Homo-oligomer: A and B are copies of this chain.
Amino acid sequence: MPAQRDSDIAYATLQEMIVDLRLPPGTVVNESALASELGFGRVPVREALARLAKDRFVTIMPRRGTAVTPLTLPDVLDIFEAREAIECGVAYIAAARASEEDLAALRTLVESADRDRESTDYEQFLLDDHAVHVTLVHMVKNALLQDAADRLLLHSLRFWRMHWKNRPPSKDAMLSNADLLSALESRDPVRAETAMRDHLNTSRQLVQILF
């Protein structure tokens, strides 16, 4: 655990506020204001913002201001495309490498998400679905892949929250990961990759229609 510097806490706090929409896309933020709100000095807040900018969660316009990055349709399509490129590869690798414990944990999460769909609790569904993908990525135990994938998954989570915020929750758009899970359990890399690709393609198409 890399220590708890103020800038680490500020980073985590702000990221959470951005992803859960307490700081909605487009919000302009101000270093000094944030500093006094969070109870830190300007320096740790500034460092946190710099890191969030590298993640593309905020956009810094030098000497002009900093804003929470907006979510345009092209941006969202990029997120899905990048997820497809990375997570398909991850699924392929994970099929060969997953331990029994990993698979059991994944099964629990997938079943939990399936229950959420039945109760149309979309916030909980999002969290469980997110957890499924995060867990999958962590299975491959590759810090570099994990960095890239975790960031994309958070972008994705932010998008879905935005998407469903003022929209009726629809069961059709809450896709199951059952196929992926069964492919992983039978240690079939190609099927796992295909399941992931189908999963992501289907949601991407849904978004493209509904946006």
Contacts and interface: CB of A to CB of B under 8 A. Distances in A.
Contact of A3 (B7, B62, B79): B62
**Chain A contact surface mostly:** helix
Q: How many copies does the complex hold?
A: 2
Interface stretch (A85-93, A106-114, A164-172): A85-93
A93 B78 contact: no
Contact of A93 (B60, B85, B93): B85
Contact of A89 (B79, B86, B151): B86
Interface of A: 2-3, 5, 7, 46-47, 50-51, 54, 56, 60, 62-63, 78-79, 81-82, 84-86, 88-90, 92-93, 140, 142-145, 147-148, 151-152, 155
Ordered nearest first, which 3 A-B pairs have the shortest CB separation? A85-B89, A3-B62, A148-B148
